[in-house]
Structure 1
Amino acid sequence: MKKLHLLLCFLVPGLLFSQQKERDINLEGQLEQLLSNFNGTAGVYVYNIATGKEAAINADTIFPTASVIKVPILVTLFNKIQEGQLHLNDSLVYTEDRIYGGSGLMQFYKDSTGTDLRTLAALMITYSDNVTSLWSQELAGGGEEINRFMESLGLEDTRVNSRTKGREEIWKKYGWGQTTPREMVSILVKIRNRELINEAASDEMYRMLTNSFYTEYALSQIPPYVQTAAKQGMVNRSRSELVMVNAPGGDYVFYIATKDNEDMSWGYDNEAFELQRMISAHLWNYFEPESGWKPAKGADLLIKGKEEKN
């Protein structure tokens, strides 16, 4: 019976992660204050792996994922690899009929360019490439298969909606995908702990997640010499970010989610982007109080340029 229990815990990480944890009441109060003036709906879930403590604000509320849904797509791809249906070195051919706008690089490839599955997965996570993400969703078996796998992991609310039969109406509400802050954190924790699919798959997925191109949000508030694993998701009225910090004092992970945002701008000073940076900075200083590290003066100008003179 004991062996069976351990096996079930390994196979159902969502259920294992949902077990009661000690709340960090102090941090929770501070985060609630930081979120209190946001013009929209915001949620955050923080889990410190070293201490086992959590802090949660709207952590079980469903939010749109936007491109963060690419993490569940990645996980399901690697499950297909584990089953022997796919391999990272599988040869593929890009054709212009796959062009899809938004973020990414593959939309600029020449027609009939050769590529492989590793490139698709890496571009999907690193550059949030939309072409490779939709292609990867297809190779993973489509939204229906991804959702079945998420359910098998004990995740009740993490789902793909776009291009998924039977989810047309919910797609209108949440877009490409949906999740809760707690569930999305649970996925990354299991990857970090080498418990999702298998150790080799977990390690490779984590390596991909440590190469985020989008460093101007939460990652900008963490020293560049500290490893992070991250994925961002952004549409007009929803901005979200998943981050694991391999901090000197112990790993911690957080998911910031927003929806119904009043500020739909796309500049550096967007309210949701500011919130992501503010929470990330607060968490770094909270968990690493002796660090003393701060972003370099003028770092923001690398992104938004020099301010106009009066």
Structure 2
Amino acid sequence: MEQATVTKSAKKKFNVMDFIYKYGTFLTIVLLVIYFSIASDSFFTKDNVVTILRSISIVTVIAIGMTISLTVGGFDLSVGSVASVSVGIVISMFVWHQQNTFVAILAALTVAIVLGLINAFMIVKVKIPDMLMTLATMFVYQGISLTYSKGAMISEKMIMPNGQTAPGTISGLFSKFGKVPWIIIIMFAIVIIVHIFLTYTKHGRYMYIIGGNMEAARLSGINVDRYRIMAYVLSAIFASIGGIILASRVMTAEVNPGAPYLMDAVAASYIGLSIGGSGKANAIGTLFGAILIGILQNGLVMMSVPYYAMDIVKGIVLAFALTLTYYRKK
């Protein structure tokens, strides 16, 4: 009798933890919305909802790239620096070289693909652990961004080293990408496309198999190296797209502009692991992770919490997400 009671209690406890693991993020979002709505009349309004979605758009796109690297059991710390390089290149194509929108975007994406291939080669072929390699390239790519811009902000009518004013202007078409509703539409489009790719195509399923057991995937005939290389290249491409959207939004290339997005991207992608109890990286989960972070930031700003305390909250949220994820794996 006593043993049956203990068993029943343990089962009940497991079910509670299982519920929290599956729906904790959704519950947290709902509770935060209720709390901030009570604390501020301006929170739950149409304009503020649009503001939150716009604020998370760039983070979500960059985090989608990191999510793809997670599907193959990898990890890409260089996404923020790749975004920085892309911001500098796309703005300089307009301002320094007087190129059109297509050429400017193509140039940024091409460089990002090269950077992704460097990561992939060193990780897949040289077999350097992904976290260590992308930590190194994070600093290298950050240095490339700073060197390319000479440590200065790139903007229209800037003074060039020769004393002349920069001749180019940023096109009106490019400026629209960073504005509502296009910035939000781009975000949702990317999330849907990547979700379909990872969930409903054989390539996405292969990537999940590789992330689950790389050796088993290799023995089953899957070209593991090819898919791992593809994952890091796609990670760089989406980081670049995030950088391009950022450039369109601010219309300048500031010094290392992608760096602040790294921590948010990591948090969003790891929070996404627990969405619905999937236990694996997924695009929809990453979107909800970004929404959670966006609601937190927006609500805390409305409550006049100092900006320098934001990282404390982000760190706690990430720690909570990791706790749920790794507790489940035990």
TM-score (norm 2): 0.30
Structure number having the greater strand percentage: 1
Structure number having the greater helix percentage: 2
Q: Which structure has more RCO (C-alpha within 8 Å, separation ≥ 6)?
A: 2
TM-score (norm 1): 0.31
